[in-house]
């Protein structure tokens, strides 16, 4: 196989990905091997690749490829999420551009548009993941709205309803006025906002005075049904038993008393709006207050808003402020900063709202899920997220699982109007089943009705209600709990995800795993960090600081981008991404490529005897390879993938290229001995096997370039299990000493401007291991190494440990220039020594400074004195 002068990622990547696909290397079927399973966190079906996806899926691919090479039956299940809110919002926006309103369409007509959009745009992101090199089992691709997954969701809803865990009721919910749907608590992001605190005057009925009440939301006064004071507050004792008039609304409301009111906030008077504040709702329940909703679903005021009906809540806030001031009903207005809840999807402020919704009781489901993480049945990497998880699971609230959307799994609840006019609900997997249940339930009452009299609930289920079943449903384990695949692949091994969805998804999957399989759904959870720019800002389209992943791949190659991401990606910590890291990745690709071209370019002579330095280098590198393999293996076991890559990077670049290849490299135009050449190719293959999970494309290309391979062979199917014989740690340590000696000689050459072509003599005073002399002589161009009793005059020396190495330089340097340099260095060291002595002579400093600081200063003094002595000796020798 001819090796091109330059590495071209575009040619290599497309070629090998098609080869892998054609040969079915990514596909898995249950067999006798140990399974290794990962399920992809399903991206939005109409989404496109961003840097977070790149990081997450690179990590998954590394784990999967490595498992394959460890002899496991690796199965990585891909798929997409229907993403109710996001997808419906995109389709609504698309229809609006065409002059069509969602409200003008029937449910069925709207869903036709969504399915058309999904078929057109869905799956684009999965195709983009192929460009990254992701080795998913594409034959297993799932979609949360496909037939099997949909059946699973409906079956689980019915089961939990029958267990008494799902119920319907009016509760205070988080309402998204943009998406016009309820949200769970986890879908609300609280952000600090600069606003105003308005002090309103509520006239006391029958008196001339006012009660002053502070609020951040004056537009909600139309929903006030009481004013509450703390019974222990002397400031407001005169209001007990009184009624007040709500400004603008001109309605009378009672003053109630409750210790809930914070004596420190505002004036100690609290307006109570039960329909639009969670705490007010609880007060309303406790004091039997009436409650009425003043908002339409889109955030405009309804008829309760009187003259403001039909206007947006924030417009009303501005206008009502002016009206209150004009009518003398505003005491004052202050700047105020508070936390406001925003929709995680549409980014608009949510509206607390009373609404009829479906809920799932999660307290009993949470107990085994909490225990599994706390006792490390399921391990978190990094473990710091256990505390975050525990806090949430110990304070878990019922999950609002209904959404007021068309796109999603429609709730399988059917309503039937009885002769009395009362409505009853029947929950069943299909309308036909619901009809049969209704017939058996009401036949004794001689109540005649048809299947068409059943009306299905209009709401759909929260998207997370489908994805919480993902590790089970991708293997059809809900519909067929004993099938061959769920029995083989479940529990899955690793989950790679972001800590931002620890509650949305991770916790809920663990709950469903214990509820429906009575065991954990995965063994390990690897939390990635957030990808940020080099200024620490989260990457986003709005900031314009997020590069296009496909453009990065085109520019640096998939392997270069993968490496750039992983070099900056310690588990659980945010990633400060800089494009220069991808450049470093590309440079590493080029280094690997050029090293391979160098080796394959050597002429081999079978008659040559193996040089001593080559024997030494092979022995040293073999031991180093075993040592680094063990280190990488240990790092993988702790999910420290970034560190594992760094070790591998240094192994190839420093140990293999900078040292091993430099030692064995034949002189220009000369051949290499056959034994060294073949062992070098063997080392190269070992390195490619280690590199493959991180850099799949270049490793596959060079694996085939090493020797002729049969069609159907691939590096990804080769077991990467080095023969871990006992490594010689002493041999590795001794070679490090040899490196220091060579570095010392190179420093002398550089400082004295002695060209490499000039052969030198190395004189040794003290203990020296001759084992690596052949290597030292070749790499430092040393003519001979000899032991001496003391350093001769005119020699330049350096220490390695306690052994002194000297190089007689004779006529190789300009004495006058060298003396000048030494004098300048001596002057600097004397000045430095004097500053340290002055500090140690200062009684105040010595009495107050910690012992470690004093010790450090004394060490500086000793070092400076030693250097001064050495400089004087060198100068004396030159004179």
**Cα separation values, 548 from 12, 492, 526, Å:** 21, 32, 25
DSSP states along 741-794: HHHHHHHHHHHHT--TTS-EEEEEES---GGGHHHHHHHHTEEEEEE-SSPPTT
Tens digits of residue pLDDT in 240-299: 999 999 999 999 999 999 988 888 877 889 999 999 888 898 899 899 999 989 999 999
Please report the pLDDT score of residue 382 as a whole number: 92
| pLDDT confidence bin for 572, thresholds 50/70/90 | low
For the residues 500-514, what does the mean pLDDT come to? 94
Q: Is the pLDDT of residue 877 over 80?
A: no
For the residues 315-338, what does the mean pLDDT come to? 94
Q: Is the pLDDT of residue 88 over 60?
A: yes
Please report the pLDDT score of residue 801 as a whole number: 86
What is the model's pTM?
0.83
d(CA 154, CA 147): 11
| pLDDT confidence bin for 683, thresholds 50/70/90 | very high
Tens digits of residue pLDDT in 398-446: 999 999 999 999 999 999 998 888 889 999 999 999 999 999 888 767 7
Please report the pLDDT score of residue 724 as a whole number: 57
| pLDDT confidence bin for 170, thresholds 50/70/90 | confident
Q: Is the pLDDT of residue 730 over 60?
A: yes
For the residues 856-873, what does the mean pLDDT come to? 88
For the residues 724-748, what does the mean pLDDT come to? 87
Please report the pLDDT score of residue 238 as a whole number: 92
pLDDT, the chain, mean: 92
Q: Judge whether 409 and 143 are in contact, CB under 8 Å.
A: no
Tens digits of residue pLDDT in 754-796: 888 889 999 999 899 899 999 999 999 999 999 998 887 778 8
For the residues 797-803, what does the mean pLDDT come to? 88
Within 10 angstroms of residue 269's Cβ, the number of other Cβ atoms is 25
Please report the pLDDT score of residue 723 as a whole number: 60
Tens digits of residue pLDDT in 144-157: 999 999 999 999 99
Within 10 angstroms of residue 815's Cβ, the number of other Cβ atoms is 12
Q: Label the pairing between strands 413-417 and 455-456.
A: antiparallel
Please report the pLDDT score of residue 114 as a whole number: 95
Winning range, highest mean pLDDT, from 170-174, 406-410, 860-864: 406-410
Please report the pLDDT score of residue 454 as a whole number: 95
Strand partners, 271: 227
Please report the pLDDT score of residue 179 as a whole number: 87
Q: Is the pLDDT of residue 571 over 70?
A: no
Tens digits of residue pLDDT in 303-320: 999 999 999 999 999 999
Please report the pLDDT score of residue 547 as a whole number: 87
Within 10 angstroms of residue 486's Cβ, the number of other Cβ atoms is 21
Q: Is the pLDDT of residue 727 over 80?
A: no
* Two tokens, residue 800: 């390695």
Please report the pLDDT score of residue 1 as a whole number: 62
Tens digits of residue pLDDT in 647-674: 999 999 999 999 999 999 999 889 999 9
Please report the pLDDT score of residue 655 as a whole number: 96
- Residues whose CB is less than 8 angstroms from the CB of residue 767 and which lie 6 or more positions away in sequence, other chains included: 802, 803
Name the E strands within 70-187.
73-77, 79-80, 142-143, 166-176, 181-183
Share of residues in the chain with pLDDT > 70 (%): 98
Q: Judge whether 244 and 203 are in contact, CB under 8 Å.
A: yes
Query: Among 237-246, 443-452, 590-599, 733-742, where is mean pLDDT lowest?
Result: 443-452
Please report the pLDDT score of residue 541 as a whole number: 63
Within 10 angstroms of residue 633's Cβ, the number of other Cβ atoms is 17
d(CA 227, CA 318): 23
Q: Is the pLDDT of residue 98 over 90?
A: yes
């Amino acid at each position: 196989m001819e090796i091109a002068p330059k590495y071209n990622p575009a040619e290599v990547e497309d070629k090998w990905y098609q080869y892998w696909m054609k040969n079915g290397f990514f596909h898995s079927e249950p067999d006798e091997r140990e399974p290794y399973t990962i399920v992809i966190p399903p991206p939005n079906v109409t989404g496109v690749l961003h840097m977070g996806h790149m990081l997450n899926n690179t990590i998954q691919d590394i784990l999967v490829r490595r498992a394959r090479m460890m002899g496991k039956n690796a199965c990585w299940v891909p798929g997409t999420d229907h993403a109710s809110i996001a997808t419906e919002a995109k389709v609504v926006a698309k229809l609006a551009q065409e002059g069509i309103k969602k409200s003008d369409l029937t449910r069925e007509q709207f869903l036709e548009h969504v399915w058309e959009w999904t078929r057109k745009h869905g799956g684009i992101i999965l195709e983009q993941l192929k460009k990254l090199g992701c080795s998913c089992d594409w034959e297993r691709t799932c979609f949360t709205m496909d037939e099997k997954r949909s059946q699973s969701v409906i079956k689980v809803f019915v089961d939990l309803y029958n267990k008494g865990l799902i119920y319907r009721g009016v509760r205070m919910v988080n309402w998204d006025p943009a998406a016009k749907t309820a949200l769970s608590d986890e879908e609300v992001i609280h952000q600090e906002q600069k606003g105003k605190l308005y002090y309103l005057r509520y006239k006391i009925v029958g008196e001339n005075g006012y009660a002053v009440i502070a609020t951040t939301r004056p537009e909600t006064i139309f929903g006030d049904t009481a004013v509450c004071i703390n019974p222990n507050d002397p400031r407001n004792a005169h209001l007990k038993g009184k009624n007040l008039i709500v400004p603008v609304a001109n309605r009378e409301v009672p003053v109630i008393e409750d210790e809930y009111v914070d004596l420190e906030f505002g004036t100690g008077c609290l307006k109570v709006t039960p329909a639009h504040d969670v705490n007010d709702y609880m007060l309303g329940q406790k004091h039997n207050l009436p409650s009425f909703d003043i908002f339409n679903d889109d955030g405009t005021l309804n008829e309760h808003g009187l003259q403001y009906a039909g206007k947006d809540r924030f417009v009303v806030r501005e206008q009502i402020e002016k009206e209150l001031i004009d009518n003398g009903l505003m005491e004052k207005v202050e700047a105020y900063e508070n936390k406001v809840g925003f929709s995680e999807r549409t980014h608009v402020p949510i509206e607390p709202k009373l609404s009829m919704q479906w809920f799932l009781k999660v307290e009993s489901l949470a107990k085994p899920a909490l225990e599994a993480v706390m006792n490390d049945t399921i391990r978190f990497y990094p473990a710091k997220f256990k505390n975050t998880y525990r806090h949430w699971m110990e304070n878990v609230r019922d999950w609002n699982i209904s959404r007021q959307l068309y796109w999603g799994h429609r709730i399988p609840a059917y309503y039937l109007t009885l002769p009395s006019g009362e409505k009853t609900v029947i929950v069943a997997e299909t309308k036909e089943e619901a009809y049969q249940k209704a017939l058996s339930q009401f036949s004794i009452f001689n109540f005649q009705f048809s299947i068409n009299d059943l009306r299905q609930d209009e709401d759909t289920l929260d998207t997370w209600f489908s994805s919480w079943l993902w590790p089970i449903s991708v293997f059809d384990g809900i519909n067929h709990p004993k099938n061959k695949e769920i029995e083989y692949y479940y529990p899955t091994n690793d989950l790679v995800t972001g800590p931002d969805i620890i509650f949305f998804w991770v916790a809920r999957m663990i709950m469903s795993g214990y509820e429906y399989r009575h065991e954990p759904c995965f063994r390990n959870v690897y939390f990635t960090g957030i990808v940020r720019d080099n200024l620490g800002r989260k990457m986003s389209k709005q900031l314009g600081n997020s590069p296009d992943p496909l453009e990065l791949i085109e520019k640096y190659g998939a392997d270069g981008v993968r490496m750039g991401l992983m070099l900056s990606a310690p588990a659980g910590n945010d990633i400060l991404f800089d494009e220069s890291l991808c450049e470093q990745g590309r440079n590493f690709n080029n280094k690997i490529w050029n090293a391979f071209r160098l080796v394959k370019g050597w002429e081999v002579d079978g008659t040559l005897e193996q040089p001593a330095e080559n024997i030494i280098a092979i022995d040293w590198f073999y031991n180093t390879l075993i040592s680094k393999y063990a280190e990488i293996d240990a790092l993988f076991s702790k999910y420290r993938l970034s560190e594992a890559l760094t070790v591998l990077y240094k192994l190839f670049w420093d140990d293999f290229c900078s040292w091993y290849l430099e030692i064995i490299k034949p002189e220009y135009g000369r051949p290499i001995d056959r034994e060294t050449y073949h062992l070098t190719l063997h080392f190269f293959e070992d390195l490619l096997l280690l590199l493959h999970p991180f850099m799949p494309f270049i490793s596959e290309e060079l694996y085939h370039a090493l020797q002729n391979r049969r069609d159907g062979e691939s590096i990804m199917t080769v077991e990467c299990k080095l023969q871990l014989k006992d490594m010689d740690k002493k041999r590795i340590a001794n070679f490090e000493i040899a490196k220091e000696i060579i570095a010392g000689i190179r420093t002398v050459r550089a400082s004295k401007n002695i060209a490499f072509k000039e052969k030198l003599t190395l004189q040794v005073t003290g203990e020296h291991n001759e084992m690596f002399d052949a290597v030292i002589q070749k790499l430092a161009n040393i003519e001979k190494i000899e032991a001496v009793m003391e350093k001769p005059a005119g020699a330049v020396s350096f220490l390695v440990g306690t052994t002194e190495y000297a190089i007689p330089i004779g006529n190789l340097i300009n004495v006058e220039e060298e003396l000048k340099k030494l004098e300048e260095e001596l002057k600097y060291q004397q000045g430095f020594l004097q500053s340290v002595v002055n500090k140690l002579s200062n009684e105040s400093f010595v009495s107050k400074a910690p012992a470690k600081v004093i010790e450090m200063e004394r060490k500086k003094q000793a070092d400076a004195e030693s250097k001064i002595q050495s400089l004087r000796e060198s100068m004396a020798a030159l004179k």
